[in-house]
Amino acid sequence: MANMASAKSAGMKSAGMKSTRTKSASPSVCCGSVADVPLDEASADALATAFAALADPARLRLLSLISSAEGGEVCGCDLVEPIGRSQPTVSHHLKILFEAGLVAKEKRGVWVWYRVVPGRFRELRAALA
């Protein structure tokens, strides 16, 4: 019976003392990598939320449009047409990207200008180490 398996699952439990204090990650993820052992539920939730923001074609294309814009920023008014969705839908997606910390926005007059947040992408890349 090949079961170091059962044996293993029985004995391994003490390693649970993570430094849960990892910067407290206020709104979004911040730390915690897939390589962590074990990834605690809280970190997993935060990471999952972040990746969920990337799990939509429309949002990926928005990110692509924003990051490739000259000057590194784009007026929201220029994002609706290329995406091919309604204005409320684009607004919705931009909100999700913003709340995930993937983009920053700044209101200038009537317009809102968006730009990507490189540090956030670095974090997520690090989580895929």
Partner DNA sequence: CCAAGACATCGACACTTGTCAATGTCTTGT
Partner DNA sequence: ACAAGACATTGACAAGTGTCGATGTCTTGG
Contact mark string toward DNA, 13..52, x via CB under 7 A = ---------------------------------------x
* Mask for 17-46, x = binds a second copy (CB under 8 A): -----------------xxxxxx-x--xx-
Reduced DSSP (H G I as helix, E B as strand, rest coil) percent helix, strand, coil of the chain, to 5:
55, 10, 35
In this structure, what DSSP letter does residue 126 have? Answer: H
Comparison of 64 and 95: residue with beta carbon closer to a second copy: 64
- How far is residue 28 CA from its own chain's centroid? 8
> What is the nearest approach in angstroms of DNA to the Cβ of residue 57?
7
Contact criterion met (CB below 8 Å) for 32 and 39: yes
Phi and psi angles of residue 112, each rounded to the nearest 5 degrees, phi first: -120, 125
Residues 47-106 that bind DNA (CB under 7 A): 52, 55-58, 75-77, 80, 85-89, 91-96, 105
Whole-angstrom distance, CA of residue 71 vs CA of residue 97: 19
Pairing of strands 103-108, 74-75: unpaired
- Contacts with a second copy by CB under 8 A lie at 2, 5-6, 8-9, 34-39, 41, 44-45, 47-49, 51-52, 54-61, 63-65, 67-68, 75, 77-78, 81-82, 108-109, 111, 121, 124-125, 128-129
